[in-house]
Amino acid sequence: MPPPDRLASLLIPFRSSGSAQVLPQGYRLIQSPEGDLATEGETAVEGLNRLLQACEERPRSPERWGQVLARSTWHLGVKDRQDRLVGFLRATSDLALNANLWDLLSDPADPGRDQVLTALVRCSLGRLRRELAGCSVSLSAPPEALEILHGVGFVVDPGGIRAMGLILSSPGMEQKESPRSGGGN
């Protein structure tokens, strides 16, 4: 086994991001749990739903946002000069092996959109390195973020990997047999 000081050199880091990305003047990064996404003119949920709709996504109910944020490990937001929420990203993790980045959003009408996306991605990766080192990272992102993601080392579907899901039934619920399951013993 290599000496401890050499172990770090054996890890495959995200590609170096070069100099720190600077948000446009007057913009600020909000990090949970310290920062609040609410503004004087709108609640956090109103701001998040406005941002979702600007990105052509469906809004979520306040209850759903409450669940989503409560189940997130942390989230990031970016506010513009007028204190409007113009960017958002949240992370979930099992705190052992996997970290997932969700809801990478940046207002398409915002002139600093690319800088906002870049700042959210780089800040989230820095935070993952510090807090959840060793976790594999998956991300759901809009097409406009692909160039930024490639720049920091993400690979789209490496080796043909595709997302999969599993629906778990509650105990006692009857499971329907899938036509593909074969139905045999």
The answer to whether 60 and 49 have CB atoms below 8 angstroms apart is: yes
Tell me what the pLDDT averaged over the chain comes to.
79
Q: Strand 136-139's sheet: what is its strand order?
A: 28-31, 74-79, 85-93, 98-106, 136-139
What is the structure's pLDDT at 13?
43
Q: Is this prediction's pTM over 0.85?
A: no
Q: Domain 15-160 class? A: alpha beta
Instruction: Select, from the ranges 8-12, 76-80, 95-99, the one with the highest average predicted confidence (pLDDT).
Output: 76-80
The answer to whether the bond into 33 is cis (omega within 30° of 0) is yes
Instruction: Round to whole Å and give the CA distance between 183 and 103.
Output: 39
Q: What does the block give as tokens for 167?
A: 């629906």
pLDDT at 168: 65
As a dihedral over the C-alpha atoms of residue 110, residue 20, residue 90, residue 72, rounded to 10 degrees, the angle is -150
The domain locations on the chain are 15-160
Interatomic CA distance for residues 120 and 180, integer angstroms: 42
Summarize pLDDT for 61-95 with one digit per residue, the tens: 999 999 999 999 999 999 999 999 999 999 999 99
pLDDT at position 165, please? 60
Looking at residue 4, what is its pLDDT?
42
Question: Is pLDDT of 144 > 70?
Answer: yes
